[in-house]
Every structure is written in C-alpha cells, then in structure tokens.
Structure 1
C-alpha cells in the first residue's frame, strides 16, 4: 500500500529524482578524490620547498593541507602534517615550536591507531632527544620506530639521523655504513636530498679522521647534487666545508674561491630579511593553529549551549572562558617570543662556557704533561751533578774547593727536592697516587724521619724530639712511604721556621679495636707562628704566607699542599693551630689496620756500620754512559766491583751466565724496560736482590716495580748515603735470611 502511495505521489518525477541522487553521489565522490589528489600535490610542493630551504613557503603549503584535513576530518593526514611541521621547525632551530606541533600530533595519536604516525612520532622524539644531547636515548627511540613501521622514506630518515648520532659519539664506522647506504638509496620522495645530506656528513667525518682527500670528494659530490636540485642550504654547507678543507690542506687558492662563493650565497639567499620572514611565518602558523583550537572549543561550547536551550548562565560562563583562553593565548604567544630569544642567548653562552671549559681542561693536561716531562728529564743531568760532586768531595779537595763543592751539593739537593715536590703535586693532580697496604713499623718510620732531619735541627740549634706511645702495635698495615713523606714535610717545615727552639713529633693511640687502631699525630714547634690571615691559604700550592717569608726562609711552598693531598688519600684531614710569635701545631688522626696475632719472628735490623761492602760484586744495568761512570765510581769507593749492562737484554744474559750479589736495575731504557728485564730474571733467579734505580715519571708506579720482582727502589738522582744504605740492607738481609 505504501508502494502505491509513493508511486502515485512521485509519478513521472521518480526518474528525475533518482538521477539527481546519483549525480550528487558521483559529484561527492569526485570532490573527495580531487581533495585527496590536491593534498598529495600540496605535500609534494612542501617537500620541494623544504629541500630548497624556502621555509615560509613550506609552512604555508602545510597550512593549506591542514585546512583540507580538518574539513575532511582526516585525522591521519592532520597527524602527518603536524609531524612534518615539527621536523621542519626543529631543522630550522625552532625547538619550542617544534615541540608544540609534536605534542599536537601526540594528542591525536592517543585515540587513533595509525602505525606510520606512531613510528614517525618515535622518530621525532629521537630527533628532539638528539637535539638536547641525549644520544643513547635517541638511538633507543629510533630502534623502536623501526619496529612499528617499515615505510621506506621513514627508514631512510632514521638511517640519516642514526648516522648523525653515531658521528656525534665517534662511532664513525657505523655512521659511514649508514651514509653509504643513503648515497645509493631508492627513496621515491627524497632520493637526491638524502644522498646530498649523506655526502656532506661523510665529508665532515673524513675531515675528522684526517682524510682530507676523501673529504673533498664527498663534499664536491654533495655540492653537485645540491646545485642540480636547488638545495640552497646544502649548497651553502658544501661551499663552507670545501673552503675549510682546502684551508686545512694548505690549498689557499681553492679555499679563497669557495669562501668567495660562500659569501655570494649568503648575500643572495641567507639574508636577514629571509630569516625574519621565516620566523614570522612560523609564529603566524602556530598562532593560527592555536586560534583554530580555540575556535573548535567555542563551537563545541555553542553546541552545548543550544542543547541546554541556550541557558543564559552557560553562555556567560562560556564567553568568560573563551575570553580568558584568548588572553592566555596572546600572552603565551608573546612569552614564547621572549623565551625563544632567551633560549638562543642561553644556548650561545652555554657553548662559550663549554669551549672555555674544554680549553681549561686541555691547558691543565698540557701543563701536567709538560711538568712531568721536564721533571723527569732534569733528573738525568742532575744525577751527574750530585754524583760527581759527591765523588769530588771524597777525593780530598783543597779547602777553597771544598767550600764551592758543598755549595754545589746543597744547590743540587735543593733542586732535587723541588723536582720531587713538582712530580708529587703532578701525580696528585692527575690522580695517579693510591695508598699501599703493606706491613711496616711505625716507630722505625718516625725514627728514620727524625734522624734524617737531625742535622737540620742542629744547624738551627733546635731540639728535635720524638714522643712515641709504646702501646701502639709494633706492626701496622698501611703505606710507610707516603707516611714518611707526610712527616718529612711537616717536620722539615717546622724546623725551617724554628730557631733556638724545640720541635716535637708526637704519636699517640686514641683507640684500639680487634684489628684497627685510631692514632693521633702532631708536629709542634715554638717558632715564628702563622697569623690568622695567613692560615686561610697556607695549604694552597706555592703559598708561604707572604713574600717576605719566602725571601727570608726560601722553599717552594709545596710541602703543606702535598701533606694535605696525601692525607686525603688516607681519608684524613690536617688541622692547624697557631699564634703569631708563639709557634704552630699541625695535627691529624688516622685509622690503620694491624695484625692482632703476631707470631715470633727473626728481626733483621742492620746498622750502616755493620755493612761489609768489600768484595761484593754487582751488576749495573744503565743505558746512559755518564750515569754508568758515576755509579761505577761510587761503588768503587766502597770497594764493590761491578759489570755494566747497557740494556735489558744484556742484563738478562749476564745474570744467567754470572753470579752477582745484587742487580742495580735502571727502569727506563731503550728496547725492553727494566721492569720486563726483572720479570725475565725472576724466572730463573728468585733470590738475588734487585734494586730499581729510576727517575720516576708521572706514569710510573712503585707498585708495578715491586710486582715485577724488585726488592727496593732508589729514585735518581739519589743521595750517596741512601744509595749505600739500600744496597747494604738488601744484600745483607738476603744473606742473613738465607743463613737462618
């Protein structure tokens, strides 16, 4: 019945109506098809504008595409556009606006499954992280992006960004692999552009690797592609790169040619007006999108108002809300402009600070290496000065010659102490020192220090006293060498500023646990004292309180600096109490381990008077001819005979063929070092005493000498009494232990 009604009602108009509906549907489909085609054309235009560095045109075309996407409610297309805007603006250095569009794309991706969009979002996240210096986080995001989509263009862009990151972290092999793949890429959208960028980056890497010829090849290849396709920014970069390479290679004619070309490019393309226009276009585009979002909110509010019969209170609230949003948008727009300028300024200042920091670090390293080399090289001629002076004094010189020789000896020893202080400070600054943990007798260490400085005390008519707590365990575990250095500096410093007075070295036990003791040390004098003002800087390098003190008492001002640094290795701190004119007191506490269960032992304490040097036969391993002569004469003075080995290989051969009472081993020699020669000798002779004679450098470690098999170490240039003492102790202790 309904059909009859319809038939009667429409009658002859039915064919016309059907035709109209069909035409409308076809027209709508054709319009939609034209719209998609139009968007593709616009996006192709955008790619071309971006490659030609026409940023304002590129943004305008993206804006057109965004309007079409919104009209068609095409969320995926809108995501693509926002992501392309983010990528473009990040490449132009506008990170703030880039992050704005990246966040808009994230908002639309939240409720819209779109694999390519998700992959590109991860790629952009990696680009932003790389821009802020987070290289490894960026690599992780790129790996995630690969898993989500295998789009060819995206994959190629991932390869390029990945190569830039690898280059930044100096993984040049991986970077080169990616870039070579991009040179021969088959990308439908950006084949030439990607190859150009790849060649530029390869040129830069080649320069870093000092392959200037390869750098020229890749840079020229990039320039050829860029000029052919109109990639203006890449043309500029290629000219700049070629100019730098030719200048570094010394080809100033070619460098000047490319510099002139670069100047012309900057004048014609990269001028201030264009940069300002691009910036204004980017700001206007972002502002338009912000206003667009507000318009959507307004439309939604109006729709809600209509559904509630246009309630008056809703309209008022909506208007107020939109007004506030509008004001906030304008305020944000202005604040962003200020923030962008501030960020640019901060970025520039940060770069300047980084360059200043790197320069300071390089200068410090250069200073350390220079001082280390100088102090090490000074030891060889100084060995000749001190050694020959000692020999001349032993040969009964006339009285007027003896006076000169004593002055020469004093100057040599002063210079040696200064060199040792410089080397010690260098080692501390370079963090090359580590405390040992070996068994030692604290009483003997302090007694040796006091006895070695007793002559200085006598010259100053000063009483030098050791106040030692006998409840301290006999054997402790620690670093006796560094502990001795600490007290040598403290006591030597006290004696320097004390005349006709008293210097006390105090060692007390504060606490004793099962396997550790807490000890209190103090060096007290009644000398000139230190003012409160001078106490603030007394532990700084080369600081002696005042110029007058330096001129009157001499010295380098490094002793207390070394003490402070050495105590820091033990986790201890030096303290000072002093009053001007009433003396000074330097004190500190230290925790040391000890062996609670001490068994019986045979004590081999030897005095220098007990050494019978006559008849001893030793091997001297030394490559310096002057040092050979001096060492041999010093041995002859004690009626010790010797053989000379010029290098490590000769030493090994002579040690195998002959029998020696000891080996005096130089460490730094051509061919195999003294350490290696010692290791080889220890393979067939584990008992012979081997004493290392070396001018210790910054990279040397006493631990390594002992590990190689040395029994003791004497640093060159050495004092004769120390030289003879070490020889006697090691030879006769070895013989006494063997007899027992």
Structure 2
C-alpha cells in the first residue's frame, strides 16, 4: 500500500513539473514576442523622428502608418494614441491645421478610456501648440504648465521649453525666451539634441534682430546653418539662409547677403523640392482617406471571411449574406453620420474658439479699463492734494469776506471730487478681486458711534435726527473688519441723510443669536425720507444708478455708494435687503455672522479729543518727493507750531532718521528709488518705536495690510482732510508717549 502511494505521489509531482515547464516556455515565448514588438515600434518611431527632422514627409507618414497598423493589430491603445499625436504634430508643423485637429480629436477619444500620464501630457502640449498657432499666448502657457506637471519625460520637457520660448518672444518677454533657448543649445536630449539646438539658434537669431543686435544674430544663424547642413535639416537650412540674407542686407554687407540669397533661391527652385511637395501632399491625402475608411474596411474583410466558410449550410449562407449586407449598409450610414458629426464638431470647435477669443477680448478690455481707471484716480490725487491743501491754508489766513465764499466752494468741490475718486478706486478694487476682509479685534459700538459722530454735521444741516439704537447684549469684543464695516455704514447713513430732510435716520444693531464664539447680528439703516419706487428698486444697487435723472440732478452724488455696500457685504457672505415706499422712507437691512471673544480684556483707551493734542514743540520728518506737496505739508505743520525736516526720497529718510530724533515720520509710499514701505522696514531695524504714518495716494495694487506689515502705525490717504491729518498725528504721538510711560 505504501508503495502504491509513493508511485502515485511521484506521478503527480512529475505531471506538475511538466505543466510548470510548459507554462514557463509559453510565458518566455510571450515575453520574447513583447520585447521584439516593443523594439520594432521604437525603431519605427526613431525612423519617423529622423524623417521629420529632414522634412521627408512621405517617409515620415509611412513610418507612422506602419506604427498605427502594429497598434491596431496588437490592440495597443497607448501606441495608437502616441501615433495619433505624432500625426497631429507633423500636420500642424506642415501648416495643415484641419488634419492636425482631426488626429488630435481622435487622440482625445482614446484618452477617455485609458490611464496614460505621458499621453495626457503630450495631448496638452499639442493643445498649447494649437492655441499658440491661433495667437492665444497665455492660454498656451497654461496648457504647457499643466503638461509639465503630468510628465517629466526629457524630450517632452525640451519641446515645452522651445514652445515657451516662441510664446515669450511673441509677448516680448525676451529674457525668459533667451534663458529657455540657451538651455536648449546645450541640451542632452537622446532623441532630438541637434534638432532642438538648431531651432534654438534660429530663434535666438530672430530675437537678436528684434533687439537690433545684428552681430549676435549672425552668430546664431551661422550656428543653426552649420548644424542643419550637418544633419540634413532642410527646413532649417532654408530658414538660416533667409535670416543671414536679411541680416547682411540690413547692415549693408550686400555681397554676403547676395551669397545667402542665391543659396536660398537654389533651394526654392529645385525640381526636387517641387516634386517632393506634390508627393508629400498626395501621401498625406492618401493616409488621411485610409484612416477615415478604416472601420468600413474592417467590416468588409469580416464579411468576406464569413462568405468563404465551407462548413455553412446554404440557408445559413443566405442569412449570413443578408445580415452582412445590412451591416454594410449600417456601416456606410455610420460613416456618413460620422462625417456629419466631424463637420459638426469642427463647427463647434470653431465656435468655441470664437467664444474663447471673445472671452479673452472681454477680459483684456476689463483689465485695460481697470488699469486705466486706477492710473487716472491715482494720478489725480497728487494735484488734488495741492488744491485741497492750499484751499485749507488760504481759509486759515483770514481771507476777505468776498473771497471766503469762493474758497469754500473750491473746498467743497475738492472734497466732492475726492469722494468720487475714492468710490471709483473702491469699485475697481472689488472688480479686480483685490479686497479681502480682515479678521482683527474691534469694538462694534465704537465703529458705529464714530460713523454717527462724523455724519452728525450733515444731519444738523438737513435738520434731521440721527439716532444709534445699539443692543447692549452684543459682545464687546468682536473679530472682523472694522474698516469695511465703517465704509458700509458711512455709505448707508450718508445716503439716508442725503434724501431725508426734517426727518429721522436710525442706525440699528441687534443680536439675533449667539453660539459659543459665533454671533449673528442684524443691522438696519432706516429713514423717513423720499423713498424709492418699486421700479427704481430693481436697479438701485447698480453702478451710477440713483433712481432717476431728476433725483441725480436734485441731490447730486455718483450713484456708487450702494454698489460699494453690496460688493463689500458680498465679501462677508451677506446680502443687502431693501424695503421702501414713496414718501414714506426706506429701510436697508442685512445680517452678518461674526466671531466674538468673551474672554478678551478691554484695552486701556488712549484716545484723545483733537483739542487735547499739544502740537507745540514737536519735530517731525516729512518724506515726500513732490515739491508742491512738501510745501503744503510743511505749512500745515507750521500752523500748529510743529517744526520739520524734509527727505526727498527713501534713502535720505533712513539717513536723517539715524542722525536725528523725531516725534513722528510722515512717510510717502510711492517714491523713486526705494519705496516708502522699504524705507519703513529699514528704519524699524534701528528704531522700532517711532510713530510712522504712511501718507499715500493709494492705488489699485496698494494694500493697507502691506503698509502695516512694513511697520507703519497708521495710514492717511492723500488728499486728506486737515482735521483727519492732525487727528492721526496727535493720536499716534500721544499713544507712543503714553505707552512709553507705562
């Protein structure tokens, strides 16, 4: 029995070993086939690259067609995808954009069903090339950046560098283009080293001509010609001869120009070139037709295969014939539908491109408008500072009674213009997404009280009561953006006062809900003024809208206040609501979520009234590059018996701050040389305590946050109201002295 078991075990083991040997041989045979197929495909692509560089279009197309057949035979989607990509690139380089898009679209379909990072990267590279060819430089750069992130293939990276250089040249970023091209001249690409270096030299020559550096252009053109002739790059030979002929003619060396021009004419007029162009065009048309008919050919071959079967009964043959006839008709119908679909896709693609161009044009127009308005508003502030400052000084110098009326009108006009400029700048910042809400500790009651106090004079002039109804249950310390909240209420309350005479305006703040460190607040500005009709309410928050032309003429204003309110509330995730009735007043209300800090300790208040400030004997440094502004600021300080030194730029400011002791520094931000921000940073290194107040005609790109981070204690925007100017100086010097005593 033991012997029988032993024999059985040996038999099973022998059978297992035989099976393992057979499987190993099959697997080895398959691996050998895979290796052989891969090597063959690689050799085909190497041949294609060489033919492409030498502009042998017919041979390049034949090699790609062979690669496509291998891919279809092996059902290798990735290889077919690579082949379609190379077809697309080749046709794009030959100027046949429609055929390039034909193959690019087919690659797009294959990419949907396969995970292939290099294929996706190359697809984006071709998308960039198509967009560059259309003139969409910035969209092309975006596609190249996405392509670079998907693959680190050296050859693809080098081609991305080359296309980037072409784009940088188009948008006149010559330094970036030259940097890319010099890297390509010394590239170590294992596939296209000489070709990339040739193209780089040609582009460097083009840039040199644009920069009027003809000698450098000659050097790079000759380098390109030498490489092209050595490796048989026919297109590049022609391009290099064209460049050299053009350069020598420009600099007046006509003999050399004639020499290269003759070489160029020989290339253009050669029978080989003409015949080759015809042959290439015929070959391209033939391959394109073959690929479009590929599906029908497959079905026809299947039909013939089934028809030749000898083991079918007559009835089965008849039925099969009928079935295949139907299939063939369906295939033809499918082909026609596919042609219609392709034409529709082409139309859609064209329309999409038109829409993209329209979008790009609209974005460019918006950016141009924003930059124009920003520049205009910024530049208006400097002369406006002179107007308001000189008017203030003249009013304080006891003018004659008949002059006072004119000066007051001038002051009013200056302040009106200043408010208009501020509104336009605010709208520009919102449109350009350059405003972000702060998150700092503040006292809401003080913010609202300051708004009410500052507008109390306006209320008195209209014989209107201005009332603050503040809920005492609202936490004392909140986290948010007090500056933007103040802007919101200044606009809402100022608007209500403008349209309310002999009436009442209420500012209401209520606590709706409190959960841990979150509060929901309700705000309302209510008046009993002229009211707003239902039709006017639809557009009341649009820019430059004030309900009607009559209202605009009677009450004045820009119509930007409510637009700013709506946009600022959008930053907090809140929405303004309106209820109004003609002759019964209006109510603007909204809710807002804020964070609170119950554990926060109230800070000791250092605030003083303007009458309590003692300016006499103070010594201040004025940093200002504009001579008129220097004179006006100095005179305004002299009125308060303040002495001052003047620095014309940031470097002088640093030197004077080191050599002298000042009570305060008034720092202009925009100056030649180093800016006011940089000067402030340098001063803070050796004097961290001196109050520094930024005086600036703030522009679209300026950020109050950056001023404070640089070390400024406060900011006053030019042109400013004198009372605000003195208030800021007094507050900051007083705080500094009190904190020093503590």
Would the TM-score normalized by the shorter structure come out above 0.5?
yes
1:683 match: secondary structure: helix
Gaps of 5+ in 1: 1-39, 111-120, 147-154
Determine the C-alpha separation between the residues in 1 that align with 2:634 and 2:120: 73
Q: Which residue of 2 aligns with 1:487?
A: 489
Q: Are 2:299 and 1:294 aligned? A: yes
- The answer (yes or no) to whether the contact 1:468–1:508 under 8 Å persists in 2 is yes
- The answer (yes or no) to whether the contact 1:375–1:423 under 8 Å persists in 2 is yes
Q: Which structure 2 residues correspond to residues 504-653 of structure 1 after superposition, within 5 A? A: 504-599=506-601, 601-653=603-655
Q: Are 2:361 and 1:359 aligned? A: yes
- The answer (yes or no) to whether the contact 1:508–1:520 under 8 Å persists in 2 is yes
Q: Which residue of 1 aligns with 2:125?
A: 130
- Cα 1:336–1:631 change in 2 (3 A) is same
Determine the C-alpha separation between the residues in 1 that align with 2:160 and 2:453: 67
Q: Which residue of 1 aligns with 2:290?
A: 285
Which TM-score applies when normalising by structure 1? 0.73
Determine the C-alpha separation between the residues in 2 that align with 1:391 and 1:66: 85
Q: Which residue of 2 aligns with 1:725?
A: 727
Per-residue CA distance 1:623-643 (angstroms, 9 max, x = gap): 322222222222222233333
TM superposition shift of 1:168 = 7.6
Q: Which moved more, 1:86-95 or 1:344-353?
A: 86-95
- Cα 1:387–1:129 change in 2 (3 A) is closer
1:370 match: secondary structure: helix
Q: Which residue of 1 aligns with 2:427?
A: 425
- Cα 1:124–1:483 change in 2 (3 A) is closer
- The answer (yes or no) to whether the contact 1:628–1:644 under 8 Å persists in 2 is yes
Q: Which moved more, 1:555-564 or 1:650-659?
A: 650-659
Q: Are 2:97 and 1:91 aligned? A: no
Q: Which moved more, 1:465-474 or 1:289-298?
A: 289-298
Q: Which residue of 2 aligns with 1:344?
A: 346
Q: Which moved more, 1:503-512 or 1:667-676?
A: 667-676
TM superposition shift of 1:722 = 0.9
Q: Which residue of 2 aligns with 1:21?
A: none
Picking from 387, 400, 403, the partner of 1:401 is 403
- Cα 1:334–1:231 change in 2 (3 A) is farther
- Cα 1:400–1:132 change in 2 (3 A) is same
- The answer (yes or no) to whether the contact 2:81–2:119 under 8 Å persists in 1 is no
Determine the C-alpha separation between the residues in 1 that align with 2:652 and 2:363: 43
Per-residue CA distance 1:393-435 (angstroms, 9 max, x = gap): 1122112100000000000001111111122122222222222
Q: Which residue of 1 aligns with 2:388?
A: 386
Q: Are 2:694 and 1:692 aligned? A: yes
Determine the C-alpha separation between the residues in 2 that align with 1:74 and 1:590: 66
1:585 match: secondary structure: strand
- Cα 1:609–1:44 change in 2 (3 A) is closer
TM superposition shift of 1:388 = 1.0
Per-residue CA distance 1:529-580 (angstroms, 9 max, x = gap): 2233332222222222333332222222221121122112222221222223
2:653 match: secondary structure: helix
Determine the C-alpha separation between the residues in 2 that align with 1:427 and 1:329: 59
- The answer (yes or no) to whether the contact 1:59–1:85 under 8 Å persists in 2 is no
Determine the C-alpha separation between the residues in 2 that align with 1:401 and 1:673: 40
- The answer (yes or no) to whether the contact 2:572–2:592 under 8 Å persists in 1 is yes
- The answer (yes or no) to whether the contact 2:87–2:100 under 8 Å persists in 1 is no
1:404 match: secondary structure: helix
- Cα 1:52–1:532 change in 2 (3 A) is same
Per-residue CA distance 1:292-345 (angstroms, 9 max, x = gap): 422432244246x53xx4234532442233223211321232233333333333
Determine the C-alpha separation between the residues in 2 that align with 1:513 and 1:479: 20
Determine the C-alpha separation between the residues in 2 that align with 1:445 and 1:105: 62
1:387 match: secondary structure: helix
- The answer (yes or no) to whether the contact 1:618–1:662 under 8 Å persists in 2 is yes
- The answer (yes or no) to whether the contact 2:533–2:582 under 8 Å persists in 1 is yes
Determine the C-alpha separation between the residues in 1 that align with 2:638 and 2:570: 43
- The answer (yes or no) to whether the contact 2:162–2:180 under 8 Å persists in 1 is no
- The answer (yes or no) to whether the contact 1:82–1:102 under 8 Å persists in 2 is yes
- The answer (yes or no) to whether the contact 1:390–1:409 under 8 Å persists in 2 is yes
Q: Which residue of 2 aligns with 1:707?
A: 709
Q: Which residue of 2 aligns with 1:473?
A: 475
Determine the C-alpha separation between the residues in 2 that align with 1:316 and 1:126: 51
- The answer (yes or no) to whether the contact 1:53–1:233 under 8 Å persists in 2 is no
Determine the C-alpha separation between the residues in 1 that align with 2:661 and 2:48: 91
Determine the C-alpha separation between the residues in 1 that align with 2:679 and 2:49: 72
- The answer (yes or no) to whether the contact 1:445–1:480 under 8 Å persists in 2 is yes
Which TM-score applies when normalising by structure 2? 0.73
Q: How many residues align?
A: 655
- Cα 1:594–1:382 change in 2 (3 A) is same
- The answer (yes or no) to whether the contact 1:489–1:560 under 8 Å persists in 2 is yes
- The answer (yes or no) to whether the contact 1:196–1:221 under 8 Å persists in 2 is no
Backbone CA RMSD of aligned residues: 5.1
Per-residue CA distance 1:638-696 (angstroms, 9 max, x = gap): 23333333333333344344443322222223333333333333334333322222221
Determine the C-alpha separation between the residues in 1 that align with 2:280 and 2:340: 17
- Cα 1:404–1:362 change in 2 (3 A) is same
Q: Which residue of 1 aligns with 2:453?
A: 451
1:693 match: secondary structure: strand
- The answer (yes or no) to whether the contact 1:528–1:581 under 8 Å persists in 2 is yes
1:504 match: secondary structure: strand
Q: Which residue of 1 aligns with 2:333?
A: 331
Determine the C-alpha separation between the residues in 1 that align with 2:302 and 2:278: 36
- The answer (yes or no) to whether the contact 2:125–2:160 under 8 Å persists in 1 is no
Q: Which residue of 1 aligns with 2:502?
A: 500
- Cα 1:238–1:585 change in 2 (3 A) is farther
- Cα 1:159–1:713 change in 2 (3 A) is closer
- The answer (yes or no) to whether the contact 2:666–2:692 under 8 Å persists in 1 is yes
- The answer (yes or no) to whether the contact 1:621–1:666 under 8 Å persists in 2 is yes
1:507 match: secondary structure: strand
- Cα 1:314–1:569 change in 2 (3 A) is same
TM superposition shift of 1:485 = 0.8
- Cα 1:462–1:202 change in 2 (3 A) is farther
Q: Which residue of 2 aligns with 1:37?
A: none
Per-residue CA distance 1:461-484 (angstroms, 9 max, x = gap): 322221111222222222211111
Determine the C-alpha separation between the residues in 1 that align with 2:386 and 2:637: 15
Determine the C-alpha separation between the residues in 1 that align with 2:463 and 2:294: 90
Q: Which residue of 2 aligns with 1:683?
A: 685
- Cα 1:441–1:126 change in 2 (3 A) is closer
- Cα 1:324–1:199 change in 2 (3 A) is farther
Determine the C-alpha separation between the residues in 1 that align with 2:378 and 2:109: 64
Q: Which moved more, 1:538-547 or 1:719-728?
A: 538-547
Q: Which structure 2 residues correspond to residues 297-308 of structure 1 after superposition, within 5 A? A: 297-302=302-307, 305-306=309-310
Determine the C-alpha separation between the residues in 2 that align with 1:242 and 1:341: 40
Q: Which moved more, 1:566-575 or 1:412-421?
A: 566-575
2:371 match: secondary structure: helix
- The answer (yes or no) to whether the contact 1:182–1:198 under 8 Å persists in 2 is no
- Cα 1:433–1:293 change in 2 (3 A) is same
